[in-house]
Amino acid sequence: MDKVSASAAEAVSDIGDGATLSVGGFGLCGIPSVLIQALLEQGTTDLEAFSNNAGVDDWGLGLLLGAGRIRRMVASYVGENKEFARQYLSGELEVELTPQGTLAERMRAGGVGIPAFFTATGGGTQVADGGLPWRYDDAGNVVVASPPKETRTFETPDGPREFVMEEALVADFGLVRAWKGDRHGNLVYRDSAQNFNPLAAMCGRVTIAEVEELVEPGDLDPNHVHTPGVFVHRVVELTPEQAAEKRIEKRTVTPR
């Protein structure tokens, strides 16, 4: 039951080339930065990542992007990463842009064993009809486009409405960051750092959590646990310095 790894490097050592990753975080909030750095140093490449966004140019998943380690992203928002945009538009990176709520539900569904679901989001658009550019070539031509999705009309309180079928996401590995965790893998997130972390933890076949504070089993109030240990396979205890390193994506201050 003791799931604590000796180091981040040990925890990610079996993530091989071509693996799929579900990665927690929103912007730079709650990202598993230490695990990402360990993966970068390990040299793993040809990765596919499911994450709300790809960090920024010099932090988070942006580090793996900058090193050319990611071949495909399933993401919702990518507007803060110039290298992401450059790789996408130059044909180096395949990108499946997904509405944010749909992405969250695709990850949650993967975690609970639901293979697909219907949502109204995207109905009547290219999300349903297909044709969204997933990959360009170096001349700017679309070489891979999204396929059309199954649609179905359901009765709603407002009358018939078209819904789009979306398939669940299941990753080989889930990478998340928690505020507190115990040796059994039970996790507690703090404030907005909860974001996509519970979903990324659920949909990973093997989930690795870096925790800012490691506590003993029984120290966490069961009513406060966000991710039960059944979803978590490895725990990495951060040093105080690692736990304190949290970057601000956009600093906003009040004018004097």
Question: Residue 254: its pLDDT value, please?
Answer: 86
Q: What is the dihedral of CA 155, 159, 164, 167, to 10 degrees?
A: -40
Other C-beta atoms lying within 10 Å of the C-beta of residue 135:
18
Sign of CA dihedral 65, 87, 98, 110: negative
Write down the residue that tokens 């990518």 correspond to: 78
Paired tokens of 76: 């919702």
In this predicted structure, the answer to whether residue 116 has a pLDDT above a threshold of 80 is: yes
Given this model, what pLDDT does residue 252 score?
85
Q: Using alpha carbons only, how large is the chain's radius of gyration in Å?
A: 19
Residue with structure tokens 């360009």? 136
Distance CA 157, CA 176 (A): 38
Three-state SS at 18: coil
Taking only the tens place, the pLDDT of each residue in 140-159 is 999 999 999 999 999 999 99
pLDDT tens, position by position, 158-212? 999 999 999 999 999 999 999 999 999 999 999 999 999 999 999 999 999 999 9
- With 90 as the cut, is the pLDDT of residue 241 above it? yes
- pLDDT of residue 79 exceeding 80, the answer is no
Q: Does 3 have pLDDT greater than 80? A: yes
| pLDDT-derived band at 112, boundaries 50, 70, 90 | very high
CA 34 to CA 5: how far, in whole Å? Answer: 13
